[in-house]
Amino acid sequence: MTDLVDRTCAACRAGAPQATPEQIAGYLPQLPGWRITQVAGIKRLEKAFPCKDFARALALTNRIGAIAEQQDHHPAIVTEWGRVTVSWWTHTIAGLHINDFIMAAKTDRIVAAGEPVTK
């Protein structure tokens, strides 16, 4: 099986199936620190990344934004002093899709490979 991080997001159209509880249970252990949240009844994957300062938080936000554009799948990102919080969900199906887990894995890779966010 291909690691989540090495997969590419597939176009997701309205009516596509949401990730099942079994799929979520299989994907989530591959994403340390990510948790399922709900906003207005919609499940999201969310993780906060600590940063030493606002400049590092902003740089991390931009790196995540670049991969989101490349994959044509976009998160909610809250950038603040000392932290970047990222939430992935699929807007067209109002819930979680494999794409969200792929992008969470890519987000973790970006954090691991980039300039240290907490020195």
**CATH number for position 83:** 3.30.1360.20
Q: What is the pLDDT of residue 10?
A: 83
Q: What is the pLDDT of residue 96?
A: 97
- β 83-88/42-50 pair status: antiparallel
Residue 3 lies in a domain: no
Average pLDDT of span 3-15? 85
Q: For residue 61, what are its two tokens?
A: 């936000």
Residue 35 lies in a domain: yes
Whole domain around residue 86: which residue ranges? 17-113
Residue 8 lies in a domain: no
φ/ψ of residue 110, rounded to 5:
-60, -45
Residue 7 lies in a domain: no
Instruction: Please state the domain count of the chain.
Output: 1
Residue 119 has pLDDT above 50, yes or no: no
Q: What is the pLDDT of residue 77?
A: 98
Residue 5 lies in a domain: no
